[in-house]
Structure 1
Amino acid sequence: MRGSEKMDNDIDAMFSHLMGEMDDLTNSLKAAQNAADEPPDEYDAPPQDGRPLSIGFTDLRESLNELEDQDLDTLVTDLRSESTADDGNDDAAGEDTTSAASQESEPVADLPPAPTAVETPQQTSQHTSEPQTKADKIQFAMDKMTDGKIIVKVLMSDGSSKALRVDEGQTVGDVLEVLLEKTHCDGSVDWSLIETHHQLQTERAFEDHEHLVEQLSTWTQHSENRVHFLLRPHRYLMFKEPQVFYMWKKKKECLREVNEQAKKLLIKESFEGPVLIVPDLESMLHLKEDGKKVWRPRFFTLRASGIYYVPKGKTKSSSDLTCLVRFENINIYTTKNYRQKFRAPTDFCFVVKHPRIQKESQYTKFLCCDDAHTLLLWVNSIRIAKYGNILYKNYQDAVKRTSNLDLQTAAAKLKTSQLSCQLTL
C-alpha cells in the first residue's frame, strides 16, 4: 500500500514539474514575440517625465529668445487666450457648484447683500497688464507653455537656423507650409523636414502626414539629433517617374521612353485601385551581422508586409524565405559614412528600426546596396509598401500647397509692380 502511495506521489511530482516547464516555455515564446514587435524599454526609451519644451536648444529660454518678434507675440497672445478660457471654465464650474448647493439648501430669512469687493490699483493692473518687453514675454511664455507646444530649431541649407513654434496637432505638411512662407523658397514638392540621428549617423525625411511633435517625442531628452529643412529631389520620385519602380527590370532606355499618359495610368493602377500594388523588388543586398562589423550577401525580396531574405543554403522559393522585419513599427533611414563607421562594402546603406532605438542593437537592421540606384529603389519601395495610398495623398497635398504658394508669390509681385508704376506716374 505504501509503495502504491509513493508511486502516486512520484507521478504527481513529475506532472507538476512538466507543467512548470510548459509554463516557462509559453512565457519565453510570448516574450520573444513581444520583443520582435516592440523593442524593450531599455533601448533609449523617451523620458517618462514628459518631453522638453524645446528641441535643438540648450533650454526653453534660449529657444523662446530665438523666436522672431512676430512669432513670439503670436505665442503670447495664444497663451493668454488659453489662460483666460481656462479661468472662465473654472469660474463657470464654481458658479454651477454654488447654484446647485443653494438649490438643495432650505430657504432662510433674507439677509442683507454682501459688500462689493473693491479692487486696489495694484490688483487692477495685475488683471489688465500685458507683458511689454521681450524679456517679459519670454517669462510669460515659460510660465504658460505646456507639453502640447514646443519650440523647434530648424537648420537651413545655408547654415542658418530658424526657431518655430509647433503645436501637437500640426502635421509635417503644416510646418513645411509655414517654412515655405517664412523663407520665400520656390514652390517645390521636394522641400522636406529631415531628422538626423547623431549616434547612428542616419537621416530620414518626415512624412507629411506625420505629427511633428509626436515624432520628436521619440528622441531621448538630451539627444544630439537635429531637424533640417532641405530639398530631397527623390522624395516623391515614385509619382514623377513611376516606371522607375514598377518597371525596374526593363532597360533604362525603355524607361526613358515612357510618356506622360502611361505614367498616369501606372499611378492609377498602383495607387487608385482597390488594392495597393507594391513594386516586386528583389536583389542581392549585404546584411550586417548583429554586434559585428561583418556583412553577409543575401538575396532579398520586398513584400507588402515586410522585407524577406533567403538564408544561407536555402532556395528562393517562398517556403524558404525568412522575414527580416515587418513594417508596422519601423522607419527606414539612409546613412552617412558607413564604410568608415561599420566597414560597409559601399556607402549606399539603409537602416530599418523602431524610431525609439537611437543606437546599434539587435533590433536595428543594417543593409547595404551595391550602388546608388539600388538604394533609391529599396528606400522608396519600402515607403510605398509601408504608407501606400497615404503617400500618394501627401504628394497631392504637396502639389496643391506649392501651387497656392506660387499663386500668392505671383500676386505679391504683381501688386508690387502696380504700386511701382503708380509711384512712377
Structure 2
Amino acid sequence: MQQPLPMRVFNTQQADFEQQLQALLATDLTVADGVQTAVDHIIAEVRSRGDQALVDFTAQFDRWQPQSAASLEVPQAALTAALERISEQEREALTLAAERVRQYHEHQRQESWQYTETDGTVLGQQITALDRVGVYVPGGKASYPSSVLMNILPAKVAGVAEVIMVVPTPDGVVNDMVFAAAAIAGVDRVFAIGGAQAVAALAYGTESVPRVDKIVGPGNVYVASAKRAVFGQVAIDMIAGPSEILVVCDGQTDPDWIAMDLFSQAEHDELAQSILLAYDDEFIAQVQASVAKLLPQLARSEIAQVSLANRGAIIRVADLDEAMVLTNRIAPEHLELSIAEPEQWLPKVRHAGAIFLGRHTPEALGDYCAGPNHVLPTSGTARFSSPLGVYDFQKRSSIIHCSPEGAAQLAKVASVLARGESLEAHARSAEYRYKP
C-alpha cells in the first residue's frame, strides 16, 4: 500500500482552531432518498404481505430461497450445534465474556419502591420488564457475536419474557460464533432474516414473527433507516453513527499502544473517528511515527488509513485541564484517559459513552469482555444519552394510593388548579373526594 498519510495535527491555540474542530466533528447522517424509498417499500410490503414478503426479500437480498416462512425460524438445536462446533477456546471466551457482561448488568437492575406519607397516602414506582424485545444482529461479513451478548444479556437480566433475535444469513451461510453466542445468552427465538424487512417484521409482526415492544442492535444504513421509520410503533435503542475513540494521553504511554488504540476504531470503517489529545510535542511526533510504522501491518489497513486521514486528528492541548474541557465538548463514544492517576480526573468528565481509565485499559477490552455494555451513544449524543443497559428493558409506572385524609387535602389543591385551567370535570372529580 502507499505510505500512510499522516494524521492531521491541530493546536487549540491556532486562530482557526474552532473552524477546524467543527469540520472534524461534522457527521452527515442524512439518508439518501433512494435508501429511504427502498426502506419504505420494504416496510409496506411486510405490513401487507407478512411472511410471504419475508420469504421473497430473503431470496432477493440474501440469495437463498426459504422453503416456507417456517423455515426462516432457526431451531434451538441449531444454536446448540453451533456451540458444539466452535473451538474450545472460542467457547470458553464467549462463556467468560457472557458471565462478565451478565454480572455487570446485574448491578443495574432497578427495583420497585414505595413510601407512606403521614396521612397514610402511599406513593411509589413500580418497575416492570418489557414483554418482548427484538435484537438485530448483523450477518455475513459483519458478524459480531459480542453484539449478541451485549444486546441479549441486559434484556434477560431485566426480566424480559421473550427475546427474539433476527440475523441475516447471506447465501444461506450460518455464522457459528453468532449462533453459539445466542445459545449462551439464552435467546428465546431466532429468525434468519435481516435488513429493513426484519425490522418491519419485529415492529408490526407477521404470521410467524411476533411483534415486539423494542428493537435494539446495530445494522447497516437500511436497518438504521428502518428503525427510524418504525420508531413510535415500537421503541428503539438509538440511531448509531460511526464508531469513535478519543484518547487523552500525558505522553508517558508507549506510543505504539496509543497508535493501536486509535486503529481499534479506525479499522471499523472509513467514517470512524480516532482523535488523540496530547500536550507533549515530542510524544505527538512519536505517535505519528508509530502510526506510520504499524498501519501497513493491519489487515484492514486501507480502511483505517482513509479513516485516519479524513476523520482522524491529533489535537495539541495546553494541559490536561484543557483536554478535559475539549473532551466534554466532543462527548466521545469511547474515552481513554491514558494518564497517571486517571481517577483524579474522572470527576471532570461529564460527557462520554464509556470511560477507560489508565494505560492498561484499552477500549478493545470494553468491546468484548470487561463487562459494561459496548452499545454506546455516538456523534456527540453522549451529552444526553447513556450506554445500553438493563434500564432500557424496564419501564416505570407511578403508584398513587390516597388515604381519605390525603385525598381530601390533595383534592382542594387539584380543584383550584383544574378550575384555573377551565377543566370543570377534573375539578368536580376531585371535589367529590372532600365535598366542599
Q: Which has the higher contact order (CA 8 A, sep 6+)?
A: 2
Please state which band the TM-score falls in when normalised by the shorter chain: under 0.3
Q: Give the TM-score normalised by the residue count of structure 1.
A: 0.21
Q: Give the TM-score normalised by the residue count of structure 2.
A: 0.21
Structure whose alpha-carbon radius of gyration is higher:
1
